[in-house]
Amino acid sequence: MLRAGRAGTWGLQLLGAFGVGLIAAGVFRTDPACGFPQGASAGLPDSFSWQAILRGIAASMALLLAAACFVFVRRFAARRSRGWVAYYVATGVAVPVLGFPAGSGVSVRLAIATLLAFGWATAITARLKTKLAYA
């Protein structure tokens, strides 16, 4: 189903880059800040370690998931799958809005964004695997 076209090329590459970013974000440590872990200062540190900087760059690769959502939107809009298109658009908008906020309640919004992101990745994988199995 995805051997040709933009979804087959860019969608899968963006989804793969999102995964690489997650792995890299797990490798590098972040600096104590904003009360985490317990006992850390309430604000941001004056300077960041090189590991925290690399982790921040890797974590920002989560935006690639939103880009992948919109690549797949085009594919499924052409197939007139309106429900899937609405789901992909909602995920593509909600993940960056909820995942990169500032202020209080960040952890709850980040948890919701994470559930949406991984739910979308699971849904697209299951849909593509089912379609490929019956193609």
Assess contact for 42 and 35: CB atoms under 8 A.
yes
Give the pLDDT confidence of 40-85 residue by residue, as tens digits: 677 777 788 888 888 888 878 878 888 888 888 887 888 888 888 8
**The pair of three-digit structure tokens given for residue 30, joined into one six-digit string:** 């972040």
| Residues in contact with 121: Cβ distance below 8 Å, sequence separation at least 6, in sequence order | 15, 18, 65
**Around Cβ 97, how many Cβ atoms within 10 Å?**
12
pTM exceeds 0.75 for this model: no
Give the pLDDT confidence of 5-37 residue by residue, as tens digits: 555 678 788 888 888 888 888 888 877 776 666
